[in-house]
């Protein structure tokens, strides 16, 4: 009737896409089946290993909730998320040869929380989380360096000990905020200097990393989604220069162009006029957006 | 620091397995990362497609519960489960050249329910589910045809309309049972003749099949796990000859050697002595087990 061996089965599965009306979906599923089967054949996957994988994927789904996305974490730690970012960047770079480089993207990660509060320029978004204060300052421009007024920065980070608000018992938003650039395309706000931290290790992905012999740490960074009318949004980080794990980010997200010096200052009047009674840092970065 | 492009990223992820102490896990994860990344590159996976896949996998995990295993269904419908069965069979066949073929395995599927009741030979396990009655009869032997006394058959099927007890509102076990062969290795029991049915289509996998342009149907079959001391257990089906979808099983599980004629009989005394007041079927199959 319709019996297949370890080789002919793959084409039989692909042939079932004959009536698929979505050409792109057909292409993606054809490639997925081919690579999935090639993987199983390459390692001669056993039934015991297969059921272990089924249980792992099930556990990963069960670990997802409003505050946690374990499948994104899995994708991040296997380098898939960063590969998708890099593929997007490579597509965008075509036809822009010679143009000034745009701000590079990196992974969104599992801690984005839509609906962060709008903040005025210069406000402190830290909401009292632990950590050394830091003034973030810079501009949002187009690729020619022209300022983009009213550009939106959607910012989030962990605290000075590497813990995100989503991971705290108190469920409120902290160290998150939306800011809009002024007429000169400038932004500035206060938060803390983030430190390195482990991705969540108390779930299936943590157990996988442990078994892989890998550390779970990410270098210190602050997340930004930056957008402006008529331009492509970019989801990125600023990484803290000299942070541990810059050379072995657990999610492979580091870009040299995103590493920023956090200049340390003694107590006194900060560049924006704020009186600081303890040491603080200043991190400067200009975002450059690609036309839409 | 540690910046990778769409090509170098893959090796960077694999290099992180340097400290993995489990050689087999290292091999499996290396191949998985390579194929996963090759897939993403081959189709130039977009961020929108990636997040759709993340949500699909999350939904698939959420759809799993005590009575439903959507990840097994996903594996089944992508042909992965049957590939793993075929790889296992190919490994087992090495070094047994020329021996009488053993009963072939096929997919376990998502409806196995451990702990089915022990039944006496000749009992009706249908528990009143709808369907035309069928007498199942045959022997369990080794590869030389010697009977295996006390071999265990763990049997399950849907009803005569293709519905499994797990899918019924009433949560009790039906059309399931464990039977042991007699001193001559014989088994016989009554149930119903199964019909073709769709795999569950009200979840993420159903939506995937629909988008792939595929029907969700499986030909009529009854599941058996057959085991005996000193022999390798086999998880298999008997398929109903001439059932629709034998040539396009949604999970690719059909084996020619597992297709069985259901001989129709008019009301009267069945071969086991049972008085039947309506038509019934007789399905005969001898299971042959491989030495452990």
Q: Give the residue from chain A lying closest to B213, CA to CA.
A: A20
As a whole number of angstroms, the distance between CA A164 and CA A130 comes to 11
**Residue A68's closest chain B neighbor by CA?**
B58
Per-residue pLDDT band for B67 (boundaries 50, 70, 90) equals confident
Nearest CB neighbour to A5, from listed B10, B86, B213: B86
Counted across chains A and B, CB pairs separated by less than 8 A come out at 232
Q: Check CB contact under 8 Å for A17 and B212.
A: yes
Per-residue pLDDT averaged across B73-99, rounded? 86
- Residue A96: what pLDDT? 64
Q: How confident is the model at residue A171 (pLDDT cuts 50, 70, 90)?
A: low
Mean pLDDT of A95-102: 70
Query: What pLDDT does residue A92 have?
Result: 77
Residue A230 confidence (pLDDT) above 60: yes
Q: Which of A54-63, A150-159, A168-177, B34-43 has the lowest mean pLDDT?
A: A168-177
User: CB-CB: which of B20, B50, B255 is closest to A84?
Assistant: B50
Q: Which residues of B touch A104 (CB under 8 A)?
A: none
**Considering chain A, what percentage of its residues have pLDDT values greater than 90?**
84
Q: How far is B59 from chain A (nearest CA, A)?
A: 7
Closest chain A residue to B235 measured between Cα atoms?
A47
User: What is the predicted pLDDT for the residue at B1?
Assistant: 53
Distance, in Å, from the CA atom of B134 to the CA atom of B91, rounded to the nearest integer, reads: 35
Enumerate residues 6+ apart whose C-beta is below 8 A from A51: none
Does A100 score more than 80 pLDDT? no
Contact yes or no for B4 and A82 at CB 8 A:
yes
For residue range A36-55, list pLDDT tens digits in order.
Answer: 999 999 999 999 999 999 99
Q: Residue A159 half-sphere exposure, CB side, CA atoms within 13 Å?
A: 15
pLDDT, residue B98, reads 62
Of A81, A138, A79, A174, give the one whose Cα is nearest residue A283. Answer: A138
DSSP letter at B189 equals E
- Quick check: A84 and B60 CB within 8 A? no
The model's pLDDT over A237-267, given as tens digits with 9 standing for 90+, comes to 999 999 999 999 999 999 999 999 999 999 9
Contact between A62 and B61 using a beta-carbon 8 Å cutoff: yes
CA angle, residues A99, A231, A234, in degrees to nearest 5: 85
Cβ-based contacts of A39 with chain B (< 8 Å)? 31-32, 35-36
Out of B29, B83, B249, name the one closest to residue A40 (CB): B83
Mean pLDDT, rounded, for B96-114: 84
> Considering chain B, what is the average pLDDT of its residues?
94
Sequence-ordered list of residues with C-beta below 8 angstroms from that of A7, at least 6 positions apart, any chain? none
Mean pLDDT on B269-291: 96
pTM above the 0.90 mark?
A: yes
**B17 vs A164: CA distance, rounded Å:** 28
What percent of chain A is modeled with pLDDT above 70? 97
A1 has pLDDT over 70: no
- Residue B94, pLDDT > 70, answer no
Provide the mean pLDDT of chain A: 94
Chain B's closest residue to A215, CA to CA, is: B16
Q: Residue B9 above 90 pLDDT?
A: yes
Assess whether pLDDT exceeds 70 at residue A99.
Answer: no
Q: Does the distance separating the beta carbons of A57 and B6 come in below 8 Å? A: no
State how beta strands B234-240 and B259-260 pair.
parallel
Q: Is the pLDDT confidence value at B2 over 80? A: no
B114 or B96: whose pLDDT is higher?
Answer: B114
A239 sits in which H/E element: strand A234-240
B128 phi/psi in degrees, rounded to 5: 80, 10
What is the CB-side half-sphere exposure of residue B251 using CA atoms within 13 A? 28
Nearest CA in chain A to B10: A79
């Amino acid at each position: 009737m319709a019996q297949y061996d370890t080789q002919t089965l793959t084409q039989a599965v692909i042939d079932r896409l004959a009536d698929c009306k979505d050409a792109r979906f057909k292409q993606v599923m054809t490639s997925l089946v081919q690579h999935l089967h090639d993987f199983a054949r390459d390692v001669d996957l056993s039934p015991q290993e297969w059921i272990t994988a089924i249980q792992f994927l099930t556990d990963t789904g069960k670990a997802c909730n409003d505050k946690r996305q374990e499948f994104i974490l899995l994708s991040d730690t296997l380098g898939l998320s960063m590969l998708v970012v890099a593929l997007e960047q490579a597509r965008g770079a075509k036809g822009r040869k010679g143009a000034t480089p745009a701000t590079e993207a990196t992974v969104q990660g599992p801690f984005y929380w839509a609906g962060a509060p709008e903040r005025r320029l210069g406000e402190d978004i830290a909401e009292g989380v632990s950590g050394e204060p830091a003034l973030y300052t810079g501009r949002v421009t187009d690729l020619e360096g022209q300022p983009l007024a009213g550009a939106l920065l959607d910012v989030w980070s962990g605290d000075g000990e590497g813990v995100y608000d989503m991971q705290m018992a108190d469920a409120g938003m902290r160290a998150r905020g939306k800011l809009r650039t002024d007429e000169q395309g400038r932004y500035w706000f206060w938060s803390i200097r983030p430190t390195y931290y482990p991705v969540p290790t108390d779930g299936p992905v943590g157990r996988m990393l442990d078994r892989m012999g890998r550390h779970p740490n990410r270098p210190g960074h602050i997340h930004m989604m930056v957008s402006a009318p008529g331009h492509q949004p970019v989801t990125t980080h600023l990484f803290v220069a000299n942070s541990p794990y810059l050379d072995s980010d657990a999610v492979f997200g580091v870009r040299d162009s995103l590493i920023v010096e956090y200049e340390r200052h003694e107590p006194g009047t900060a560049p924006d006029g704020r009186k600081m009674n303890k040491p603080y840092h200043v991190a400067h970065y200009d975002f450059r957006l690609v036309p839409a």
